Amino acid sequence: MQTIELGQTGQHVSRMALGAMQMGGATDERDSVHILDRYLEIGGSFVDTADCYEWWRHPGTLGGQSEELLGRWMRAGDRREQVFLATKGSAGPVFSPQLWDDEGQPDWDLARRTFEGAGADTLRHALDGSLRRLGTDHVDLYYVHVDDRNTPLEETLEALDGFVRAGKVRYLGWSNVRTWRLERIRQLCERHGWTLPVAVQQQHSYLRPGASTGSASIAGYEQLDYLREHRDQTLVAYSPILKGVYDSAAKRDGHWMMGSYSGPDADARLAVLAEVASEAGVTPNQLVPAWLMDQESPRVLPLIGPRTRAQFEDALPALDVKLSDEQLRRLDAAGV
Ligand SMILES: NC(=O)c1ccc[n+]([C@@H]2O[C@H](COP(=O)([O-])OP(=O)(O)OC[C@H]3O[C@@H](n4cnc5c(N)ncnc54)[C@H](OP(=O)(O)O)[C@@H]3O)[C@@H](O)[C@H]2O)c1
């Protein structure tokens, strides 16, 4: 698999990262291990998880199942050195029995109101927990999972810098974050000599969010422009195929993911996407990561999240799609 430079660090990482969010939850251990092995086999190495994955599928817990599974997988095959390992802290909810109803369904509103946040002690505790579950003494990339506006940024940044100095973390990243916060982080790092984040993990795909969306999690026009000007931070695109909605109008219909995108712009882009996918002999779900990987400015690194072995295999043709300049122009220009 091709690689791209992470920010301007000199560190090269796989062109397409593999998300382990569902591993140990919706994806059982056997299938997870199979997918992870296959990813290494095709030359991939960039694996993404978080300390809270997936508390919402395991009533009574605060997550950790994905990290534990990765820890077992790496230990069993002595694979730690083959993996560029990313994890995240700050988005676990504070435990409460009310997080799940009687049917075991999560209460996301309560969870969001009680995120543990990015205070220094919280992050120290979170990182040590992640290292223990992953069975390693360091992670390659550590993200603040959800930007925390209730904690002074100085406190968070100084703690993160301490992780890097202690050798527990090699690079830093931020996720679910607004552009003005990225700029404030940059200024504080420059002023205090703290380690600057080199990865920004946001929801990003081919469809564009509607103007009224207002989500801090989706990379919009302003953020893309910012990252175009700041090549020392790489955009890692999570939910790159928006939960697989591109191939099926039936799946799109009423899917919660479409809430930020539905409208004439999405309709126009979906039509052109289908046209170019058919010319290229791939599905729209395959074309979208290929288009993301073709973006030069800002550069984009798709982070896929296959739930099944078949979905993982289905993602691979994206790595070989060759789009002509004319097709790229048509895809870029589509929309209203
Ligand atoms: N920073 C954050 O806040 C954040 C948030 C979300 C995710 N992430 C990271 O990003 C990774 C990927 O995110 P994601 O899981 O949302 O990505 P995604 O690939 O857009 O969505 C995964 C879902 O797409 C569907 N899918 C995958 N491959 C498919 C295929 N070939 N054909 C049809 N459907 C397919 C499946 O849906 P069905 O289950 O319906 O079949 C699967 O569960 C996660 O593992 C995690 O590491 C980070």
Is residue 90 scored above 90 in pLDDT?
A: yes
* Ligand 1, atom 5: closest residue by C-alpha: 238
Res 50: pLDDT = 98
Residue 107 pLDDT grade (very low, low, confident, very high; cuts 50, 70, 90): very high
CA of 49 relative to ligand 1 center, distance in Å: 12
Q: Are 20 and 64 in contact (CB under 8 A)?
A: no
Dihedral of alpha carbons 71, 72, 78, 79, sign: negative
Q: Which CATH superfamily is domain 3-246+285-322 in?
A: NADP-dependent oxidoreductase domain (3.20.20.100)
Beta strand 169-175 pairing with 3-5: unpaired
* Ligand 1, atom 37: closest residue by C-alpha: 243
Res 144: pLDDT = 98
CA of 304 relative to ligand 1 center, distance in Å: 6
Q: In testing the pocket of ligand 1, which one of 207, 218, 307, 308 has its CB within 8 Å of the most ligand atoms?
A: 307
Phi-psi category of residue 99: left, alpha or beta, with phi > 0 → left and psi -120 to 50 → alpha: alpha
* Ligand 1, atom 30: closest residue by C-alpha: 311
Neighbours of 43 (CB within 10 A): 12
Q: Are 234 and 173 in contact (CB under 8 A)?
A: no
As a whole number, mean pLDDT of residues 192-201 equals: 98
As a whole number, mean pLDDT of residues 18-43 equals: 98
Q: E strand or H helix at 5, and its extent?
A: strand 3-5
Write the CA distances from 182 to 146, 177, 197, 258, integer angstroms: 13, 7, 9, 26
Is residue 215 scored above 90 in pLDDT?
A: yes
As a whole number, mean pLDDT of residues 193-206 equals: 98
How far apart, in whole angstroms, are the C-alpha atoms of residue 284 and residue 287? 5
Task: Copy the structure tokens of residue 150.
Answer: 């209730």
Query: In sequence order, which ranges of the chain are alpha helices (DSSP H)?
Result: 29-41, 65-76, 108-113, 120-134, 153-165, 179-192, 221-229, 249-252, 264-280, 284-293, 309-315, 325-333
Res 29: pLDDT = 98
Res 28: pLDDT = 97
CA of 27 relative to ligand 1 center, distance in Å: 12
Is residue 212 scored above 90 in pLDDT?
A: no
pLDDT per position as a tens digit, 129-183: 999 999 999 999 999 999 999 999 999 999 999 999 999 999 999 999 999 999 9
Cis bond upstream, residue 298 (ω within 30): yes
CA of 66 relative to ligand 1 center, distance in Å: 14
* Ligand 1, atom 47: closest residue by C-alpha: 19
Domain boundaries defined on the chain: 3-246+285-322
Q: Are 64 and 21 in contact (CB under 8 A)?
A: no
Ligand 1 pocket, CB under 6 A: 19-21, 48, 145, 175-176, 201, 238-244, 247, 285, 303-307, 311, 314-315
Is residue 323 scored above 90 in pLDDT?
A: yes
Residue 211 pLDDT grade (very low, low, confident, very high; cuts 50, 70, 90): confident
SS3 of residue 31 by DSSP = helix
CA of 239 relative to ligand 1 center, distance in Å: 5
